[in-house]
Amino acid sequence: MDKIISENGDTAAEGSICGYDSLHQLLSANLKPELYQEVNRLLLGRNCGRSLEQIVLPESAISLSSKHDFDLQAVSFSADKEQMRNPRVVRVGLIQNSIALPTTAPFSDQTRGIFDKLKPMIDAAGVAGVNILCLQEAWTMPFAFCTRERRWCEFAEPVDGESTKFLQELAKKYNMVIVSPILERDIDHGEVLWNTAVIIGNNGNIIGKHRKNHIPRVGDFNESTYYMEGDTGHPVFETVFGKIAVNICYGRHHPLNWLAFGLNGAEIVFNPSATVGGLSEPMWPIEARNAAIANSYFVGSINRVGTEVFPNPFTSGDGKPQHNDFGHFYGSSHFSAPDASCTPSLSRYKDGLLISDMDLNLCRQYKDKWGFRMTARYEVYADLLAKYIKPDFKPQVVSDPLLHKNSS
């Protein structure tokens, strides 16, 4: 499908349609070109009435991708030209990756291995001119929260810990804002743990943090063994490149969570995740794209890659036999836009860097076009929610009187 074009005209690895690699291959191989283009229009949408344009990347970024064997894709979202505002184009990147060493390796070696793996990917983003870069959920460690074993807590670190210091140097070097989701240890409050995204400014400073709002208790995702719901609300971080927010993983299943970031003025919302094919893959291409449409902002969806095998088998109270892994983390990171267009996704199996130029003027243009904010009935929703959270809440259900008559 869409290929990355380097400055000398070479092409890099192919992408997939929102994670559906096999679907893309099937369609492209069996449909006539004109029919395939129509199907592609429905799957990926149209940005300002046309397909997304490819970005020409510097040879240094292409070379890093080839040398270190990671997927590299780059496309551009545009907006209509305005008379009163100049374009507000920002270059944004997403990184997905597998762990570097087996989960049985010493913990410090595992973390260092991930640092070493990500360094050339961040370098590629830097030389490609990325302004804002987001990493995957709990990127410094294996996603061990299925095991319920306490020893994995050793990966936790303070907001200004080792991973932040590692990224601060790179943020400053490349004039790049970096969103770093980590397992946080709150030293000042009893050393409790949080699932936290640290926002590192383009000058290497810490802008702030956001803690995961919604904690899953489904299947193997026993995360409340380690941390509970966050206490930071729905902050939007104003950076030199735009207003960004972070809806961590399971929060993407909650429409009001997406809404709250939009009400606070987000222009780009990142969704760093760790999710597996057997649980959520059919939902993956839908939820973020719907959030981008409904809230008139861009969404960057990131998911880790690979199967992480743990030394001790575990169960999850669902009747399934004990096992040693979550399942396959299916990658498929992608961007979605307010106009319902979305990028092809990164690989389902391979580390990758996805880059997108996006004109943030598109956010206001689609607020004006659809009028979702103007036509919303927030006072009605607020009244219902205020009633719902009270113990004496009664649903507003109007029953057919004949139902009761027939039952008697």
Of 137, 157, 281, 287, the catalytic one is 137
List Cβ neighbours of 84 (8 Å cut-off, separation of 6 or more).
none
* Six-digit token string for 377: 């009935």
Assess contact for 19 and 347: CB atoms under 8 A.
Answer: no
* Six-digit token string for 58: 């510097």
* Backbone φ and ψ of 25, nearest 5°: -65, -40
For residue 249, indicate whether it is catalytic: yes
CA 244 to chain centre: 12
* Interstrand relation of 217-218 and 221-222 (parallel, antiparallel or unpaired): antiparallel
CA dihedral 281, 284, 286, 292 (to 10 degrees): 180
CA dihedral 34, 37, 43, 49 (to 10 degrees): -120
Q: What element of type H or E holds 301?
A: strand 298-303
Assess contact for 346 and 15: CB atoms under 8 A.
Answer: yes
* Six-digit token string for 60: 């240094």
Q: Which amino acid is at 95?
A: I
For residue 137, indicate whether it is catalytic: yes
**Separation CA 60–CA 184 (nearest Å):** 34
Name the one residue in this structure whose structure tokens are 């400073």: 205
**Separation CA 295–CA 338 (nearest Å):** 7
Assess contact for 80 and 365: CB atoms under 8 A.
Answer: yes
Of 212, 223, 267, 363, the catalytic one is 212
Q: Is 187 left (phi over 0), alpha (psi -120 to 50) or beta?
A: alpha
Neighbours of 334 (CB within 10 A): 30
Of 249, 267, 281, 342, the catalytic one is 249
Q: In what order do the strands lie in the sheet with 298-303?
A: 237-239, 242-246, 268-273, 298-303, 334-336
Where in the sequence numbering do the catalytic residues fall? 137, 212, 249
